[in-house]
Amino acid sequence: MRVLGIETSCDETGVALYDTDRGLLSDALYSQVAMHADFGGVVPELASRDHVRKLLPLIDTVLCEAGLTRSELDGIAYTAGPGLVGALMVGASTAHGMARALGIPVLGVHHMEGHLLAPMLEETPPEFPFVALLVSGGHTQLIKVEGIGQYTLLGESVDDAAGEAFDKVAKMLSLPYPGGPSVSKLAESGTEGRFRFPRPMTDRPGLDFSFSGLKTHTLTTLKTLESNGTLDEQARADVAWAFEDAVVDTLAIKCRRALKETGYTRLVVAGGVSANRRLRRYLSDVMTKQSAHVFYPDLRFCTDNGAMIALAGALRMKAGEHDHATMFTTPRWPLAELHPPGFQKA
């Protein structure tokens, strides 16, 4: 089954073609980061307009690279949510219009399920069951995964997501958008141990996260250094190092707890922050000591992309699931509301 995947939930326009027999055939991505950088974050209206400009040319590019025509598609999957509602509607309307014209099924896919399943695009994919850490600009969640659509929320952030905290700290440090890569790059020249920031909510039971206090601690440290006249470039790097170290250690502590609680030995880490190199190194070391295995998507599939949507859509559509005539989008959509594939949505 050949499924076209469309991702337009935020500031990346992603398109891919996935074949359930041959795997990923082609993919293309256009990032709006440069356009939004001047504003320090995503401007929803600009994002929607850019998706309109880029989506159809990217679809043609993906089909050309795969050597296929639109008439050879068996289905179309699109991101239905969560995300920016205007951006979601661009992908949804395009998918429904194409599917109706071609007489093929169409399916709205959960954005975070796409991230969760992205490591299955790799040569050595994880087997069920596993614990998934979904960590991005909008989400920080630990999920017990027993199969596709069989998800139990173990813990989540009660305030800022990890990626959101990176973006806000980047602004404190006068670093460019997006914040995660900028903070990590600055942290590379930081001094280990000069500052030690708190590991929030690790001194109590549970699997929830909180990064708001860590963000405030970072701001307080910077203001203290500034008032003392010692906020030079090295101090900024040392603060970035301490902040990143605290986030990574906090995520690792909660992952260890989740594996112990479930008894699982496989951890999947996905979402934009999963591209963080220090997080990858640290978790790999921790999981090895715990006799567990950690799986990541390829770096190009950590951020939003069409390949993960094509994969998630193909797995569900192969089981007979598809949208009815009504276009479906929702800016808020809890992952726990999903169901196993195999039946049609009402």
Q: Which residues are annotated as a binding site?
A: 111, 115, 134-138, 167, 180, 276, 304
Q: Are residues 206 and 220 in contact, defined by beta-carbon separation less than 8 angstroms?
A: no
Residue by residue, DSSP assigns 11-33 as SEEEEEEEETTTEEEEEEEEE-H
Q: If we measure between CA atoms, which residue out of 72, 60, 71, 66 comes closest to residue 6?
A: 60
Residue ranges for the binding site for Fe cation? Answer: 111, 115, 304
Given the structure tokens 């990626």, which residue do they identify? 163
Residue ranges for the binding site for substrate? Answer: 134-138, 167, 180, 276
C-alpha 111/C-alpha 104 separation (Å) is: 22
Q: Which helix (DSSP H) or strand (DSSP E) does residue 150 occupy?
A: strand 150-156
Burial class (CB in 10 A: 0-12, 13-18, 19+), 143: buried
Q: Which phi and psi (to 5°) does residue 99 adopt?
A: -65, -40
